[in-house]
Structure 1
Amino acid sequence: MTTLSQQQSPPQGASSFPLSRQSRLRKLWKDLQRDKYLYLLALPGLLFFLIFKYFPLGGIVIAFQNYSPFAGITGSEWAGLEHFRRFFSNPEFMLLFRNTMAINLMSLIFFFPLPIILSLMLNEVRNMVYKRVVQSVVYMPHFLSWVIISGLTFLLFATGEGLVNKVLEAIGGARIDFLTNADLFWIMLTLQSIWKECGWGTILFLAAMASIDPGVYEAARMDGASRIRQMWHVTLPAIRSVIVVLLILRLGHMMDVGFEQVFLMYNGAVSEVAEVFDTYVYRVGIQQGQFSYSTAAGLFKSVVGLTLVLAANWLSKKMGEDGVY
């Protein structure tokens, strides 16, 4: 009987795979029909990433070619790792690496904690009208372009007609070259980022704080915890996972300073501290037409960012956090 039943039964997996595949397709189609408006709402964002993030990945191949616009990708000669060897042996490489890492480390140390601190302060405000007004005021700089931010910076800190230098001179002080002093360039960039994005960075933290059970605060108050203790022992642990995720994503941009900001603040007096990977790729790729070489430099920057994200995500999971994925 056992032998007969084994002979009559179809081979394992012969018909189950097509059926399971069909069932998965039917389930997917039902999900698409059920949530069609949600998918339609997400469509612009998906198209943005597909068109500007994923489709251009095919052009990475020119980093391994002697690319010619006339021959195209298919007709250009293969160069292998020649452009990478040239980039790493270039004396400017260490300068670019130093400037990029220094600007990002300053941003990580001084800028990243400020939205958390500001969120904690706003969360403690009990007057809702005052809280909404403050939130609106600190959000507004985010919607200004870097062109406007740079223009305001020049109006405030220019050596000759800048408001800050005029005030310093009026109180008996000496004028300071804020915009042409190489020692102050990284500080100016960090202050710009803080003023522009600090308020906007509080949105996720305030949303995470809003989900904290009020009973936990009540229990902490009954145990005699002050407002500072409640922030330290209740609020911060509750938003720790959000902080970790944002920190991991921030590490992924350690090689990405932001072309617009640096380019608009760039001048000959600060070129030694202002030249970063983004401006270098623009200079040699767009202005000098070295497409393959600049693509190799950009690819190196992207690989380093991906490596930092993977390493930080792995480390966060080892420490008991959820991580990004």
Structure 2
Amino acid sequence: MVQCKWMYVLALPGILYFILFKFVPLWGLMIAFKEYNPFQGFWGSRWIGFTNFTDLFSSQIFYLMLRNTFAVNIFSIIFMFPLPILLALMLNEVRHEAFKRINQSIVYLPHFLSWVVVASMTFFMLSTDVGLINKLFSAVGIGPVSFLSNPDYFWGLLTAQSMWKEVGWGTIIFLAAMAGVDPQQYEAAVIDGASRMKQIWHVTLPAIRPTIIILLILRLGHMADVGFEQILLMNNPLVTSVSQVFDTYAYTIGILGGKVSVGVTVGMFKGVVGLVLVMISNYAVKKLGQEGIY
């Protein structure tokens, strides 16, 4: 243990971060069991047990929020999760280092844009009055399409935004995993006559499979989370039926409405759902003979 003392010193900032910002605030979960009043304070607020939870589950929009939240995340897993893997495989096959670094920089750049900028760009491209796409449609005789106000397009629009913004950044971990693949495995595959596609399928993908599984399990743990800022910026009264999620509900009721206990209740429910999904997915992965996260 003494021999690894510098490793503990390097890990200390991360440990302190989790203690201060993840574990210490857990006492605030008790607000979910109180009728919290800022003027009475935490200890002076009335204890009401599970009333906030029963009110949440019996709410008319609870199942609407559950459907919308899971739908957005399912779209993300189906269309968004595989893309960083595919892009990382493509970048890994580039042999010209300068060209590879330039392309990596280009696909990373959207990650550093705020959602305000992304939402503004989306409005500029897709709005019915000033949208570039609708202007092109009008030029060829096609009427304007209400991309931003049609509920049928909302989930796909969110997914497309996330794909454009985050797919490049998501390749970093997979490229790091591919860098750790033993070159001798590729040499053996070449000797056996394997093509580049077969090398990817039989060498690269099996080598990064543990990374893919771990990230997928962690992603499933966030099934009750949706990008709050993204939805808040893209929301409008015409798409409320598909845009109302737990995060926006907690913001509207908990912060704007002053019902802090309801907001904490929603957050606690999301945390429990995430924990259950992580445990179930980890158990399923182990049953399939793969390594889980614990």
Q: TM-score, normalised by structure 1?
A: 0.86
> Could you say which residue in structure 1 is the equivalent of 2:174?
205
The alignment status of 1:108 with 2:80, answered yes or no, reads no
Most deviating of 69-78 and 154-163:
69-78
Residue 322 of structure 1 and its aligned partner are, at CA, apart by 2.1
Cα distance in 1 for residues equivalent to 2:59 and 2:8: 52
Pair 1:106–1:35, CA change in 2 (3 A): closer
> Could you say which residue in structure 2 is the equivalent of 1:272?
241
The alignment status of 1:219 with 2:188, answered yes or no, reads yes
Q: Describe how 1:7-26 pairs up with structure 2 within 5 A.
A: none
The alignment status of 1:54 with 2:23, answered yes or no, reads yes
Q: TM-score, normalised by structure 2?
A: 0.95
> Could you say which residue in structure 1 is the equivalent of 2:10?
38
> Could you say which residue in structure 2 is the equivalent of 1:262?
231
Cα distance in 1 for residues equivalent to 2:229 and 2:145: 25
Cα deviation, 1:201-232, whole Å, max 9, x if unaligned, reads: 11111111111112211221222222111111
The alignment status of 1:186 with 2:155, answered yes or no, reads yes
Q: RMSD in angstroms over aligned alpha carbons?
A: 1.6
Q: Describe how 1:89-168 pairs up with structure 2 within 5 A.
A: 89-168=58-137
Cα distance in 1 for residues equivalent to 2:18 and 2:137: 48
Q: 1:85 aligns with which of 50, 54, 57?
A: 54
* 3-state SS in 2 of match to 1:60: helix
Cα deviation, 1:36-92, whole Å, max 9, x if unaligned, reads: 7524xx52x444433332222111101111111122221222111111111111110
Pair 1:100–1:168, CA change in 2 (3 A): same
Cα distance in 2 for residues equivalent to 1:279 and 1:71: 26
Cα distance in 2 for residues equivalent to 1:221 and 1:168: 50
* 3-state SS in 2 of match to 1:294: helix
Residue 31 of structure 1 and its aligned partner are, at CA, apart by 5.0
Q: 1:246 aligns with which of 184, 195, 215?
A: 215
Unaligned runs of 5+ in 2: none
Cα distance in 2 for residues equivalent to 1:321 and 1:36: 29
Unaligned runs of 5+ in 1: 1-26
Bigger Rg over Cα? 1
> Could you say which residue in structure 2 is the equivalent of 1:171?
140
The alignment status of 1:234 with 2:234, answered yes or no, reads no
What amino acid does structure 2 have at the position aligned with 1:207?
Answer: A
Cα distance in 1 for residues equivalent to 2:254 and 2:71: 24
- State percent identity of aligned pairs: 54
Residue 290 of structure 1 and its aligned partner are, at CA, apart by 1.3
Cα distance in 2 for residues equivalent to 1:68 and 1:215: 65
Cα distance in 2 for residues equivalent to 1:237 and 1:60: 41
Cα distance in 2 for residues equivalent to 1:36 and 1:79: 43
Q: 2:270 aligns with which of 298, 301, 305?
A: 301
What amino acid does structure 2 have at the position aligned with 1:142?
Answer: H
Query: What is the number of equivalent residue pairs in this alignment?
Result: 294
